[in-house]
Amino acid sequence: EGLVVPEGWKLELLSAGGKRNFDTNQIIERYDKRIAMTTLADFILLGQQSTGSFALSSDKTELFGTAMGTYLDIICDVFNTQAIPRLIDLNADHFDGFSDYPTMTHGDVENVDLKALGSFVNQMVGCGALTPDGGLEDYLRQAAHLPDRTDDYPTNTSPVDETTPETEPEARDVSNDSDQLEDESGVDGEEA
């Protein structure tokens, strides 16, 4: 290690006037937490301490997703009201007969909780409040990032009924059973 000092300059190590020692890591961690809190990203810090729960993390990430969606809405609004119209107007020769400006949109910021969605749909279909149809299937496929429906398979299939109908026990002649019971118990008047 070395240091190049220009002529006329003098180098000396300085120290603070006081004798107290500061834990700089603690100071940095405090500011890291404050920065994360102001950006609603403090859910990132949940695993670094001895406290925190999944429910709290879920709520905080949902709030962060909502905030990010709002920022993206603002950005899209600026593009849609200022940048895109100006760009189309500057290139008017290429867009003859163009009546509406295109709009910019953003996708979902946060993925849907498929377990909760599946449970909800199952309960609603089970109680008859929701009828499964093509629109519902399309939405569920989109939410789960599954491929689109194709025409290869029927679109309206009902769940397979795996229960077998209960069979009635075979009818038998029970008139002889009462005679047999009387004979075994000696109720006929005969003593054993």
* DSSP code of residue 94: G
* Residue 96 domain flag: yes
Per-residue pLDDT of 177-188, as tens digits, reads 555 555 555 555
CA distance 150 to 148: 6
CA distance 143 to 110: 10
Specify the number of domains making up the chain.
2
74-101: burial string, b at 16+ Cβ within 10 Å, e else: eeeeebeeeebeeeeeeeeeeeeeeeee
* pLDDT, mean of residues 119-141: 93
Contact status, residue 135 vs residue 149, Cβ threshold 8 Å: no
Output the pTM of the full model. 0.51
* Residue 5 domain flag: no
Of the residues 55, 81, 109, the one at which a domain ends: 109
User: Which SS3 state, helix, strand or coil, does residue 140 take?
Assistant: helix
Per-residue pLDDT of 134-179, as tens digits, reads 899 999 999 898 999 887 766 555 555 555 555 555 555 555 555 5
Per-residue pLDDT of 83-114, as tens digits, reads 999 999 899 888 887 778 899 999 888 888 88
Whether 31 and 103 map to the same domain: the answer is yes
Whether 31 and 68 map to the same domain: the answer is yes
Q: Which domain holds residue 45?
A: 24-109
Whether 126 and 66 map to the same domain: the answer is no
Amino acid of residue 143: A
In the numeric block, which tokens belong to residue 53? 């729960």
Closest CA to 61 of 43, 36, 47, 39: 43
Of the residues 76, 109, 142, the one at which a domain ends: 109
Task: For 122, list phi and psi in degrees, rounded to 5.
Answer: -60, -45
* Residue 174 domain flag: no
